[in-house]
Amino acid sequence: MTTESPSHSSLLRLVFWRAAASTTEIVLRNREQLLSATPYLVMLAGGLLAYAIGYHVGLAAFGPNP
């Protein structure tokens, strides 16, 4: 028979849900600023994606640097 005791996974689950709740609270509190920053974040993500694609195309075409 096993006894019920707090396990490591339940502690991790509690920490995860507390972090998720606090992140959600921050997002909801600052949603106007986040919405105004969205175009810049999309532009940044597009630039990073273009860099990653170019990097991998360069590796495929020319191989790694010696």
- The model's pTM: 0.48
Q: What is the pLDDT of residue 8?
A: 62
Residue 1, pLDDT score: 46
How do residues 43-58 score in pLDDT, each as one tens digit?
999 999 999 999 999 9
Q: What is the pLDDT of residues 4-44, one digit of tens each?
A: 555 667 888 999 999 999 999 998 999 888 889 889 999 99
SS3 25: helix
Q: What is the spatial distance between Cα 24 and Cα 28, in angstroms, rounded to a whole number?
A: 6
Name the residue ranges covered by the structural domains of the chain. 8-62
- From the CB of residue 59, how many other CB atoms can be counted at a distance below 10 Å? 11
| 8-state DSSP, 65 | -
Q: How many helices (H) and strands (E) does the chain have?
A: 2, 0
Question: What pLDDT is recorded for position 66?
Answer: 65
8 or 60, higher pLDDT:
60
